[in-house]
Amino acid sequence: MSRHHYSGDALIEVLHTAQELYGFLSPGLLKSIARKLRLPPSRVLGVATFYHFFSLKPKGEHTFVVCLGTACYVAGAPNVLTALEHRSTKAGTTTADGKVSVDGARCIGSCGLAPAVIYNGRILARVTPESISKELDRIGVE
């Protein structure tokens, strides 16, 4: 932090690090970040909610991020998302049992592999509603 002009400049980096460490940004965490960086709390929350990367709620045990970029859209990503949502939960949410989180993303830069899904951090290529369903079976989703 000391290398930056004002402590506030580091806010986004600090939020990245905090999320990496704790998985999500709890109100308590945000409060202590505000205090440490000497920033107004509303600014910290304003920044944390502006960027989709930051999550204020804990993520599920398994995370699916369906790419909804153009190439994936053309290749049928909406059908993959529908299938996934149908068996688990709406994009942007986590199942009640904390097992699965579903999210949409805007191009993950793997358009050659469309439709692409990031499953627990790994890229799945040319995903179909069937293949995603199989994966859900494998991890024991009813």
Q: Please count the residues of this chain forming the interface with ligand FES, following the rule CB under 6 A.
A: 12
The binder of another protein chosen from 60, 64, 66, 68 (CB under 8 A): 68
The reply on whether position 131 binds another protein by CB under 8 A is no
The reply on whether position 66 binds another protein by CB under 8 A is no
The reply on whether position 104 binds ligand FES by CB under 6 A is no
Strand 62-67, strand 93-94: pairing? unpaired
The reply on whether position 37 binds ligand FES by CB under 6 A is no
CB–CB of 72/115 below 8 Å?
A: yes
* 34 Cα distance to chain centroid: 23
The reply on whether position 110 binds ligand FES by CB under 6 A is yes
Tokens of 62: 């398994």
| Contact positions with ligand FES (CB under 6 A) in 45-74 | 67, 69-72
Give the residue with the Cβ less far from ligand FES, 1 or 74: 74
CB–CB of 120/62 below 8 Å?
A: yes
The binder of ligand FES chosen from 108, 124, 127, 132 (CB under 6 A): 108
CA-to-CA distance for 102 and 106, rounded, in angstroms? 14
Of residues 63, 52, 67, the one with CA closest to residue 112: 67
